[in-house]
C-alpha cells in the first residue's frame, strides 16, 4: 500500500517574505504619498500662474484703452471681462472663487496710471486672497504674485512681497453717494525701539523718501543714557500703511496708531459758500459801477471788500482740506534700547522664526508619514501577527 503523501505546504520563509514585502510597500506608500500631494499642488501652482498671467495681460490691454489707467479696486474684474471673455482665469485651481476667494488687485495701484508707478517690476498688481479678501498662501506654503510689468512669480509666505503687507488702511474710492469724493485726513504715530538710534534715523529718512514723502523735522537727543529721536514726516495718504510698516521694520514696535478725520462736510460747505460769495461779489461790482451817490458807493465798496476777504478765508479752508487729505502726517519716535535690556535684533528674530518654520514643516511631514502608517496599520499589523504566529508554529514543529 502506497504511503499517504502529505499535502504540500508553502514554505514558512516564503510567507514571511511576502508579508515583509507588503509591509515595505505600505511604508513606501506612506512616505511617497505626501510627495505625490506636493507634486500635484505644484501642477496647480503652474496652472494658477497661467491664470494670473492672462489676467495681468487683460489689465494691460484695459490700461492701453483707458489712457494708461489701471482698473479700480472694486470693479477690476468687470472692467477686464471683455478682454478675458470667460471666468475660468479668475479661479485658482486650488481654491475656486465660488468657494474660497480668488485673486485681488493691489489697492495701492488700482486706478493709477502705469506711468505713475516708479518700479513696475517690483510693484504687486495681483495676489491671492481668501473669501474675506485677506492674502493666502495655498501653494506649498506659498502664493503667486503678478506684478505691474506683467510677470508672475511664486513666493513663500516668509518672503512674500511687501506690497501686500499693509496695515489694513486703504483710502476709500467710493463716495457712498455723499459727495464727488470723500475728503478724509489721516494722522499716524509710531514708537519704535531700536538698537542704534543714529542708524535708525538715517534708515527712517530713506524709508520716507521711498514712500514718496518728505521730512518736516528731525530731532535727536543723546544726552541721557537712552538716546531718542523724534521725526515728523509727510507722506502721500495712500502710502501711510507702507510707510508705517517700513518704520516698524527698524526694530520693536512699542505702539502704533492711525487716526482719520472726515472733512467732507467742511469741504462741501466751504465750496458752496465760495460760489455764493463769488455771485455776491459780481453783483456788488456791478452796483458800484452804476451808483452815482458817493455814500452808497463807499458802502458798497466796503461790503465788497468784506465779501472778498470772506472768499479768501473760504479758499484757505478748501486748500487746508485738500492739503490734509493729500498728505498724511506721521510722527515717529525712535527710542534706543535700555543698556540693561537685551537689544532688539530683528535679524536674529527672523532667524529663529525661519528655524521654527523649518522645524514645523519637518513635524508636519513626520505627522503625515505617521498618518499613512496608521491608515495601513491593518495591513502591516496583520502581516506582523501572521509572521509571528508562523514562526511559533515552525518552532513547535521543530520540537
* Segment-wise mean pLDDT, segments of 10 residues, the chain, 399 residues: 49 62 65 59 84 92 91 83 86 66 80 85 86 76 89 84 56 61 86 88 87 88 81 88 80 84 86 83 74 70 80 86 90 78 45 58 68 66 71 67
Residue 29 is predicted with a pLDDT of 61
Residue 65 is predicted with a pLDDT of 92
Residue 230 is predicted with a pLDDT of 92
Residue 315 is predicted with a pLDDT of 86
**Domain coordinates of the chain in residue numbers?**
46-164, 175-344
Q: Would you say 250 and 334 are in contact if contact means Cβ atoms under 8 Å apart? A: yes
Residue 60 is predicted with a pLDDT of 93
Residue 344 is predicted with a pLDDT of 42
Q: pTM value?
A: 0.45
104 Cβ partners below 8 Å, 6+ apart? Answer: 126, 127, 128, 129, 133
Neighbours of 20 (CB within 10 A): 14
Amino acid at each position: 500500500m502506497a504511503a499517504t503523501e502529505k499535502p504540500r505546504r508553502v514554505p514558512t520563509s516564503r510567507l514571511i517574505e511576502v508579508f515583509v514585502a507588503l509591509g515595505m510597500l505600505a511604508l513606501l506608500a506612506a512616505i511617497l504619498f505626501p510627495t505625490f500631494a506636493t507634486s500635484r499642488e505644484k501642477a496647480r501652482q503652474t496652472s494658477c500662474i497661467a491664470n494670473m498671467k492672462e489676467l495681468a495681460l487683460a489689465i494691460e490691454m484695459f490700461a492701453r484703452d483707458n489712457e494708461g489707467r489701471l482698473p479700480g479696486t472694486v470693479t477690476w474684474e468687470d472692467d477686464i471681462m471683455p478682454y478675458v471673455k470667460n471666468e475660468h482665469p479668475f479661479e485658482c485651481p486650488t481654491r475656486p472663487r465660488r468657494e474660497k476667494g480668488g485673486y485681488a488687485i493691489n489697492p495701492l495701484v488700482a486706478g493709477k496710471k502705469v506711468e505713475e508707478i516708479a518700479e513696475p517690476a517690483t510693484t504687486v498688481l495681483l495676489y491671492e486672497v481668501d473669501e474675506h479678501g485677506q492674502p493666502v498662501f495655498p501653494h506649498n506654503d506659498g502664493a503667486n504674485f503678478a506684478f505691474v510689468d506683467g510677470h508672475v512669480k511664486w513666493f513663500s509666505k516668509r518672503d512674500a512681497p511687501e506690497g501686500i503687507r499693509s496695515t489694513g488702511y486703504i483710502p476709500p474710492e467710493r463716495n457712498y453717494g455723499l459727495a464727488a469724493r470723500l475728503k478724509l485726513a489721516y494722522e499716524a504715530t509710531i514708537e519704535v525701539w531700536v538698537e542704534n538710534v543714529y542708524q535708525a534715523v538715517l534708515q527712517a529718512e530713506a524709508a520716507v523718501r521711498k514712500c514718496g514723502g518728505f521730512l518736516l523735522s528731525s530731532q535727536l537727543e543723546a544726552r541721557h543714557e537712552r538716546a531718542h529721536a523724534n521725526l515728523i514726516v509727510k507722506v502721500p495718504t495712500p502710502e501711510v500703511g507702507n510707510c508705517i510698516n517700513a518704520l516698524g521694520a527698524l526694530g520693536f514696535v512699542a505702539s502704533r496708531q492711525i487716526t482719520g478725520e472726515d472733512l467732507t462736510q467742511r469741504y462741501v460747505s466751504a465750496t458752496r459758500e465760495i460760489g455764493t460769495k463769488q455771485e455776491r461779489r459780481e453783483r456788488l461790482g456791478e452796483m458800484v459801477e452804476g451808483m452815482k451817490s458817493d455814500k452808497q458807493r463807499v458802502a458798497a465798496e466796503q461790503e465788497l471788500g468784506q465779501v472778498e476777504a470772506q472768499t479768501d478765508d473760504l479758499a484757505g479752508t478748501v486748500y487746508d482740506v485738500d492739503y490734509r487729505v493729500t498728505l498724511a502726517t506721521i510722527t515717529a519716535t525712535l527710542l534706543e534700547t535700555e543698556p540693561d535690556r537685551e537689544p532688539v535684533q530683528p535679524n536674529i528674530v527672523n532667524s529663529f522664526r525661519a528655524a521654527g518654520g523649518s522645524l514645523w514643516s519637518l513635524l508636519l511631514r513626520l505627522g503625515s508619514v505617521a498618518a499613512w502608517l496608521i491608515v495601513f496599520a491593518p495591513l502591516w499589523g496583520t502581516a506582523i501577527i501572521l509572521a509571528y504566529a508562523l514562526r511559533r508554529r515552525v518552532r513547535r514543529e521543530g520540537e
